[in-house]
Amino acid sequence: MTAAVRWCLVALVVGTLVAIPPVIAALPASEPDEGTAELLQRVQGSAAVAHTGYAETDGALTLPVTDDFSDTADLLGDANRLRVWWRHSADWRVDAVDTTGETDLFHDGIGTAVWNYQAASAEYGPDSPARLPRTADLVPSVLGRLVLGDADAADVTRLPAMRVAGRDAIGLRLVPPEPQSSIDRADVWVDAGSGLPLQVEVYGAGATRPFVSSRFLDVSLELPDAGTTRFTRPAGVEVRYDEALDIADAADRFADVAAPLELAGLASRRPAGLPGAVGQYGSGLTLLVAIPLWDRAAGPLRDQLETSPEAAQGPAGTSLTVGPLSMLLAPPTAEGSWLLTGTVGRSTLERAAAQLAAGAVGARS
CA end-to-end distance (rounded Å), the chain: 87
What mean pLDDT is predicted for residues 130-143? 89
pLDDT of residue 3: 43
CA-CA distances (angstroms) from residue 346 to 229, 283, 321, 341? Answer: 41, 18, 7, 9
Amino acid at the residue 362: G
pLDDT band (50, 70, 90) for residue 32: low
pLDDT band (50, 70, 90) for residue 365: low
Pairing between β-strand 79-88 and β-strand 91-98 as defined by DSSP bridges: antiparallel
Pairing between β-strand 121-126 and β-strand 239-241 as defined by DSSP bridges: parallel
Pairing between β-strand 362-363 and β-strand 286-293 as defined by DSSP bridges: unpaired
Task: Rank 12-21, 80-89, 112-121, 293-302 by mean pLDDT and report only the highest.
Answer: 80-89
CA-to-CA distance for 347 and 345, rounded, in angstroms?
Answer: 5
pLDDT of residue 132: 80
Give percent above pLDDT 70 in the chain: 84
Q: How many residues does the chain have?
A: 365
pLDDT of residue 128: 81
User: Is the CB of residue 272 less than 8 Å from the CB of residue 170?
Assistant: no
- For residue range 314-353, list pLDDT tens digits in order: 899 999 888 888 999 999 887 789 999 999 999 999 999 9
Give percent above pLDDT 90 in the chain: 49
pLDDT at 30 over 60: no
Amino acid at the residue 266: L
Return the number of other C-beta atoms located less than 10 Å from residue 193's C-beta: 12
Averaged pLDDT of the chain:
84
Among 78-82, 200-204, 270-274, 361-365, which stretch is predicted with the lowest mean pLDDT? 361-365
CA-to-CA distance for 105 and 127, rounded, in angstroms?
Answer: 13
Which domains are assigned to the chain? 26-229 (2.50.20.10), 255-363 (3.30.200)
pLDDT of residue 81: 94
Question: What is the reported pTM?
Answer: 0.84
CA-to-CA distance for 144 and 84, rounded, in angstroms?
Answer: 15
- For residue range 208-249, list pLDDT tens digits in order: 899 899 999 999 999 999 999 999 988 888 889 888 778 888
Question: Sign of the C-alpha dihedral, residues 325, 201, 138, 64?
Answer: negative
Higher pLDDT, 199 or 5: 199
SS3 325: strand
pLDDT at 78 over 80: no
User: Is the CB of residue 33 less than 8 Å from the CB of residue 96?
Assistant: no
User: Is the CB of residue 290 less than 8 Å from the CB of residue 278?
Assistant: yes
Residue 190: which region, alpha, beta or left (left: phi > 0; alpha: psi -120 to 50)? Answer: beta
Task: Rank 79-83, 196-200, 327-331 by mean pLDDT and report only the highest.
Answer: 196-200
